[in-house]
Amino acid sequence: MVENRHLRYFLEVAKTLHMTRAAEGLHIAQPALTQNMHQLEAELGVRLFDREGRRLSLTAAGLVFVEEARKSLRTFEGAQLAAQRAARGEGGEIAIGFQSTAGLAVIPKLLKELGNRYPEIKVVLKEMGSSAQKNALRQAEIDVGILYSLPDREFAHHMLVPESLVVAIPEVHALAARESISMQDLRDEIFVLPALESAELLRESVMAECADAGFKPYRIQDITTAQTALGLVSVGFGISILPASIRFLERPGVVIRPIRNSRLQAQLTLMWSPTHPSPIIPKLKECLD
């Protein structure tokens, strides 16, 4: 079987046309080099060298094989470098699940930073809710999830930088004229919120803040994406509480206001399976921190 060492040895002999000098350049014994050249010729079924005593010259087959050997070694070296980069997390492919609101600021930042620092990483994106992401992680359909969910023992995790929450209200609403809105001001409103399976941590945070303000929303409309929430708010079908990055989505008929005296924050979590972690994950953390 022709191996890479046969190609390297052959190219050195082809360059020097002298077995002893080639063996010295390769730091191997001359008899071993001669044996390897005989093995190569036997495997190929052609003579690569004409031999007149110690003088060597390349045959027509040998001249052609020089270029092919160089191409083969370049291909192998390229594959070797690619494999090494992939092992270091500097190349290869990674499938990322993400919440819809993460697509407003977090994902664009991640793609920009990865593209600048590690251009050989290919990213496959899948937008889905938190429950769907966890199932996709279990089935190895994605390598990592970016979701609003509390850490649990099933997955390894890394908490991202939290962001404040804001209120989205119809521009014709009486509260729209205020610079900020308190939770108590919203006690009689329909709340348009992500369903538990879409963004459990975000939903639970909003409900806890309502409880602290002394009320429970009398009606909640479940949605799965921030775009849907803004669409409902724009036609006066309730208010929504969403991460501040929602400001990147301009929607006619909707105004965004901060929540006064609120501790509410939305914090995305990077999650992955601890049994088969992608070597690219540390690079994601580096770009997101």
pLDDT digits (tens, 9 = 90+) for 69-103: 999 888 888 777 767 676 777 778 899 999 888 88
Handedness of CA 205, 211, 212, 213 (dihedral sign): positive
| 55: β partners | 52
Instruction: Say how far residue 225 (Cα) sits from the centre of its chain.
Output: 21
Is the whole model's pTM more than 0.75, yes or no?
A: no
Torsion of CA 228, 230, 234, 239, to 10 degrees: 110
Same domain, 113 and 68: no
Same domain, 35 and 96: no
Question: Which residue range is the domain that position 129 belongs to?
Answer: 92-160+268-288
Angle at CA of residue 54, ends 52 and 60, nearest 5°: 50
Same domain, 224 and 145: no
Residue with tokens 């602290």: 212
CA distances 107 to 46, 104, 139, Å, are: 57, 7, 23
Domain count for the chain, please give it. Answer: 3
- Tell me the pairing of strands 239-243 and 191-194: parallel
| 97: β partners | 126, 145
Residues contacting residue 168 through CB under 8 Å, at least 6 positions apart: 229, 230, 233, 239, 240, 241, 242, 246, 254, 255, 256
Same domain, 273 and 147: yes
Same domain, 73 and 109: no
Same domain, 101 and 127: yes
SS3 content of the chain, % helix, strand, coil (to 5): 45, 20, 30
pLDDT per residue as tens, the chain (289 positions):
778 888 889 999 999 999 889 999 999 999 999 999 999 999 899 999 988 877 889 999 989 999 989 998 888 887 777 676 767 777 788 999 998 888 888 999 999 999 999 998 899 999 998 889 999 999 999 999 999 888 888 999 999 988 888 999 999 999 999 999 999 999 999 999 988 888 888 888 899 889 989 999 999 999 988 889 999 999 999 999 999 888 888 889 999 999 998 877 888 999 999 988 898 999 999 898 8
